[in-house]
Amino acid sequence: MKIVNYFLVPLLTISLLSCKKDAKNIGSTTDSLKTKKDSIVVPEVHKEYYGIYTGNFGAIHIATAMESEDDYEENKKISLKINKITKDSVYGQSIVNGNQRPFRGIFNENTQSFILDEPGNDKTDGRFEVKIKNDSLLGKWTAFNKSVVKAPSKSLELAKRDFVYNPNFMLDKDSDLVDWTNPKSFVEKFKDEETGKTESYTTSKNRVATEAIFKINASKQKLTEKDIKNLRKLDMEIIKNSVFARHGYSFKKATYRNFFERTDWYIPVSNNVDNALSPMEKDNVALLNRFIKYAEDKYDSFGR
User: pLDDT by residue (tens digit) across 248-271?
Assistant: 999 999 999 999 998 999 999 999
CA distance 101 to 233: 32
User: What is the residue-averaged pLDDT of the chain?
Assistant: 85
* Nearest one of 115, 139, 112, 111 to 127, comparing CA atoms: 115
If you average pLDDT over residues 211-217, what whole number do you get?
97
**pLDDT confidence band for 36 (50 / 70 / 90):** low
| Average pLDDT of span 106-133 | 96
**Residue 29 confidence class, pLDDT cut points 50, 70, 90:** low
Do residues 55 and 94 make contact, with C-beta atoms less than 8 angstroms apart?
no
287 contacts: CB under 8 Å, gap ≥ 6: 223, 225, 228
pLDDT of 113 strictly over 90: yes
Q: What is the pLDDT of residue 247?
A: 97
Least confident of 33-42, 97-106, 177-186, 256-265: 33-42
Q: Tens digit of pLDDT for each residue in 138-187? A: 999 999 998 888 889 999 999 999 999 999 999 999 888 999 998 999 88
pLDDT at 243: 98
* CB of 137 closer than 8 Å to CB of 80: yes
Is the pLDDT at 64 greater than 50? The verdict is: no
For the chain, give the percent of residues with pLDDT over 70: 81
pLDDT on residue 1: 45
Closest residue by Cα to residue 56 from 162, 156, 129: 156
Cβ neighbours of 67 (radius 10 Å): 11
- Split at pLDDT 50, 70, 90, the class of 55 is very high
Indicate the pLDDT class of residue 130, thresholds 50, 70 and 90.
very high
Weakest mean pLDDT among 66-80, 155-169, 216-230, 282-296: 66-80
pTM recorded for the entire structure: 0.78
pLDDT at 11 over 60: no
Which comes out higher in pLDDT, residue 131 or 6? 131
**Could you give the CA distance from residue 190 to residue 89 in angstroms, rounded to a whole number?**
67
> Given a cut of 70, is residue 27 above it in pLDDT?
no
For the chain, list the domains and their CATH numbers.
47-161 (2.40.128.620), 178-300 (no CATH)
pLDDT band at 3 (very low <50, low <70, confident <90, very high): very low
Query: Residues 273-298: pLDDT tens digits?
Result: 999 999 999 999 999 999 999 999 99
